[in-house]
Amino acid sequence: MPSDRSGWRSTAEYDYVEDLSASDLAWEWLRRNKRYSKDYATLSKAATDSAALKAALLDKWRLRFRS
């Protein structure tokens, strides 16, 4: 007989999510994405003049930053 898993995580820990902006909410989930983390690590290790890699990752993850 399977155990009840409905209380496996406290919902109180995620109450703050209700007050996040769209971009903050997107960041909350993106930062947990293992593929994004791997791409970010690759970019962090790349040469500072690696504009092509930066552009490719920005496009892949649909990231846009205010000027």
Query: Residue written as tokens 């209700």?
Result: 18
Please name the amino acid found at residue 49. D
Contact between 54 and 64 (Cβ < 8 Å): no
Report the pLDDT averaged over residues 33-52. Answer: 85
Contact between 39 and 61 (Cβ < 8 Å): yes
pLDDT one-digit tens code per residue, 11-27: 787 888 889 998 888 88
pTM, entire model: 0.59
DSSP percent split of the chain into helix, strand, coil, nearest 5: 60, 0, 40
